[in-house]
Structure 1
Amino acid sequence: MPEKPNTVEVDFIAPRHLAGAGDPTWITVPLHRACGWSHGNDPLIPRVVLSSPDQKALLRLEPNPDGQWWTLHHAQEPGRPAWYATFGARTPVELIAAVTDALTDPVPRPKAPSDPYGWLRRADWPDHGDDGFVSPDATAFVQRTGSPEDPGAWFVTAALGPDRPVWQARFSEHAPPHLITAFTKALANPKPVLRTDGPRALATRDPNLVTRNTTDVLAVYVAGALEERVRRLAGRSTPSPAPLPTERAHRANRGRAC
């Protein structure tokens, strides 16, 4: 008899902000292999430190029972002071990856200003005015501190109640808006995320808050998802500059201008 293909029990979890952290290699491996970020080599230290090719950005993943596990620092650039973003241990890797993917995208971002609240409005998240936006199930909150005249840092919090925090993401006041928008877009995405670590990783199993669909998937498909992600990110390239006008087109343009 032919050998039965190996399968893996997979959970598809929604909403994604309550799905647990997921596999950190979803972030670290593409940064290194597809985006050229370098890393140290000390297997005796339980942390990962990755630096961008231009040495302007540094991503640190370090177990910290009293604080944020992920920290992204970026050096000062012309027109923008230094900034940072941090993410708690249970922040889904898909949300953090949305930020790192946007940061490393070689395609210039549109000049139009980004609105981190825009994707939440599209997803029908209730607007709580100065308190920002809250998810329809009231377990995720997005808020910017400060005032319209002096805006401050951004906070994104997942919680099951006043005294039951799940994770928090923080973006400093000078963090590029398009990165925060990438995060909120991923946060508002209703598509379930895949998990293979079982229900123990969930913040709650309350069926009123979390939908968990379990199925068997071929192991080769699960293992290949990360490789496909690396290939996709490595395939991004800077658009070619617009071709210079030919002499004929130049003469035609001059004629139209006369």
Structure 2
Amino acid sequence: MPPAPETVEVDFTTPRHLAGGGDPAWITVPLHRACGWSYGDDPLMPRVLLSSPDQKALLRLEPNPDDPWWTLRHAAEPNRPAWYARFGARTPVELIAAVTDALTDAAPAADAPCDPYGALHQAGWSPYGDNGLASSDKTAYVERLGTPADPGAWSVTVTLGTHQKIWQARFGAHTPPRLVAAFTAALADPKPVHRSNNGRHLPTLDPAVVTRQTTDVLAVYIASALEDRVHSLAARHTPTPTAPVPSRQAPPRHGRSR
């Protein structure tokens, strides 16, 4: 009898903003393999640097207890000043990946969301402060700093209680709105995210705050998820083959069209 397929225990966690950071490879591997971003290799430094093919964008991942672990910077362009986005260590990789996926999409859909508040309104988030929204469980907050006449950076904060900040993200004032909207849409998505660490990296195990559904999943499915993601993103850059132009040769005398 053949051995039973290997399985791994996976936690499917909601809300996703309290699921922990996850595997950084979910972001870095597709950027390199599917989107052509280059990386510098320095084995003596615990950091990752990835730069876009046009050298305008730089993603930096550097573990630092006092600063954001993820920093994305983009150089100025003729129609937009330089901009940045920063993410704390416990920001779920699925949310950051939504930003990098949108950034590297050469032909975004015409109906791609551009209002960072749109998905949050649809998810039932409530007003917070002068220009912000709060999740229904009051653990996540999104707000536009500055004033309506002079809007500034976008701030996203996830907390447990009054004083326990879990992670924070910030988008500079000139960050393209569609990238901020991609982040907030992923933030508002009710679908759980999976983690294979048995809750060790969750900020809380309180069942009143976090829902965990533990399931045994075939190991091959977990192993192939990243590869499937790489192929899916690479397909965006593959030009669609054009149909061959039919020749103008005369049809055969004894043939039947189909």
TM-score by length of 1: 0.90
SS of equivalent to 2:130: helix
SS at match of 1:65: coil
Partner of 2:224: 224
Displacement of 1:5 in angstroms is 1.0
Query: What displacement does 1:109 show?
Result: 5.6
Helix, strand or coil for the counterpart of 1:235? helix
CA contact (8 A) 2:48 2:62 kept: yes
Number of equivalent positions? 242
- Structure 2: runs of 5+ lacking an equivalent: 241-258
2:167 is aligned with what amino acid?
W
Matched, 1:124 2:124: yes
Aligned-pair CA distance for 1:112? 8.9
Amino acid at match of 1:118: G
Contact 2:11 2:213 (C-alpha < 8 Å) held by counterparts: yes
User: Residues of 2 paired with 1:192 and 1:127: CA distance?
Assistant: 24
So what's the TM-score if we normalise by structure 2? 0.90
Q: Which amino acid aligns with 1:64?
A: N
Q: What is the CA distance between 1:189 and its match in structure 2? A: 0.2
CA contact (8 A) 1:107 1:239 kept: no
User: How far apart are 1:16 and its partner, in Å?
Assistant: 0.1
| Inter-CA distance 113–150: structure 2 relative to 1 (3 Å threshold) | farther
- The within-5 A match list for 1:1-258 is 1-108=1-108, 110=110, 114-128=114-128, 130-237=130-237
Query: Displacement of 1:110 after TM fit?
Result: 3.9
When residues 112 and 190 of structure 1 are mapped into structure 2, their CA distance, relative to the original with a 3 A threshold, is closer
Shift of 1:122: 0.5
1:116 CA drift (Å): 0.3
SS across alignment from 1:158? strand
Q: What secondary structure is seen at the aligned counterpart in 2 of 1:225?
A: helix
SS class of match (1:86): strand
Q: CA deviation at 1:44?
A: 2.0
Q: Given residue 188 of structure 1, which amino acid in structure 2 is its aligned partner?
A: A
Percent identity, please.
69
Match of 1:255 in 2: none
Q: Is the 8 A contact 1:15 1:211 kept in 2?
A: yes
Q: 2-side partners of 1:65 and 1:79: how far apart?
A: 35
Where structure 1 has 5 or more consecutive residues not aligned to the other structure, the ranges are 241-258
What CA deviation, in whole Å up to 9, does each residue of 1:90-121 have, x standing for no partner?
A: 00000000000000001146499821000000
Tell me the distance in 1 between the aligned counterparts of 2:234 and 2:111: 24
Quote the Cα distance in structure 2 between the aligned partners of 1:79 and 1:109.
21
Name the Cα RMSD after superposition.
1.8
Residues 106 and 238 in structure 1, CA contact (< 8 A), matched pair in contact too: no
1:61–1:70 Cα contact (<8 Å) kept: yes
The one-letter code of the counterpart of 2:231 is: R
Task: Using the TM superposition, give the Cα deviation of residue 128 of structure 1 relative to its aligned residue in structure 2, in angstroms.
Answer: 2.5
- Distance in 1 of aligned mates of 2:82 and 2:238: 25
Is the 2:113–2:181 Cα contact (8 Å) retained in structure 1?
no
